[in-house]
A = this chain, B = another copy of it.
């Protein structure tokens, strides 16, 4: 692992997006989403994905000068056609539209079609926080997850995310994939040569497997709750909700027709919708009760949960989003660790495009 200052990786990411032809604002916006992931410790969704975005662009699957248009709207809703934009750009744009509409009529929901991978869900939902709103965000994603009883990849890891503003404490941020485990955890186990716990994946026949590289042998991720036949149907159901809201309601691709994130996989044929889809929502706190009462209540919620009797005194109960926030503070101060694999890929990109390499911390 090598440590890099946040500002150094941000500079590099911006340079890459500019080189791809993104307008300055879009390059800054896209980089801000990636760096938020790296700071929050979601390494799989940060600058490690830069080369992937570049390859998608080279394959002509991303538009860097997209025309984003509202194709349908009411006072509290909008359906947005993202014109093939980076999700890193279209998602904050759509979330800001949701915030504006909630400002006017209390709450709102905005869907996005014809988009691409949008980074971490939390970034977008959290845009609502300074406005004293609850924000939420979901996206579908390339198929990797089997439905209960099935052995085909039908759903992405389809995250659900909500962000709740608080007063005396930091916001509560829930950002969770609806699969049992993230793909990134498999990659880590594989790199260490370790097997993975039962209940994360199945092989191509739908049999439980503990092999970390099973996805490359035609295996699939299991939905949340998936050990045996216990509660996987719940994760399948929640992943379906994300797909229906993000894909079917928006007009994007859905199910097995969601475009792959990796450029070497072919695009789905005759898709019933276009691109990756997202959905965003915003709710003004004072559209439901006095904001002051809400803030008093949520601070008390946080305090009470942090003081819940722990199983192990050395492992206190955490509030959702606390680990990510702690990572954010730590990494802002001490730097963002990149594996040699990731930093080498960034250096190669710098060489190829004649960009200054990101410089590691001394």
Contact = CB atoms under 8 A, between A and B. Distances in A.
Contacts of A206: 310-311
A287 B105 contact: no
A217 interface: no
The complex is assembled from copies of this chain, and their number is 2
A343 to B, nearest CB: 29
B251 A297 contact: yes
Interface stretch (A44-52, A232-240, A352-360): A232-240
Contact of A225 (B73, B107, B225): B225
Nearest to A295: B248
A311 B151 contact: yes
Interface string A298-312: 101100110011111
Interface residues of A, number: 95
Contacts of A288: 72, 77-79, 109, 111, 249-250
A206 B315 CA distance: 13
Given A105-B105, A107-B108, A272-B300, A197 B308 contact: no
B250 A289 contact: yes
A109 B102 CA distance: 11
A149 B310 contact: yes
Contacts of A318: 148-149
**Residue from A225, A228, A236 with most neighbouring chain B CB atoms (10 Å):** A225
A312 B290 CA distance: 54
Given A199-B230, A249-B289, A254-B297, A312 B149 contact: yes
A60 interface: no
A319 B152 CA distance: 14
A315 B148 CA distance: 10
Nearest to A290: B72
A205 interface: yes
Contacts of A76: 75-76, 105-108, 287
A316 interface: yes
Contact of A297 (B207, B273, B285, B300): B273
A176 interface: yes
Contact of A164 (B150, B224, B244, B320): B244
Contacts of A231: 180-181, 224-225
Contacts of A243: 301
Contacts of A108: 76, 107
A172 B105 contact: no
A284 interface: yes
B176 A199 contact: no
A241 interface: yes
Interface in A276-332: 283-290, 293-294, 296-298, 300-301, 304-305, 308-312, 315-320
Nearest to A153: B308
A285 B249 contact: yes
A111 to B, nearest CB: 5
Give 6 nearest A-B pairs by CB, closest first: A74-B106, A206-B311, A77-B106, A77-B287, A150-B308, A237-B320
10 contacts: A76-B106, A76-B107, A107-B109, A109-B283, A148-B318, A160-B241, A181-B230, A197-B230, A224-B225, A225-B231
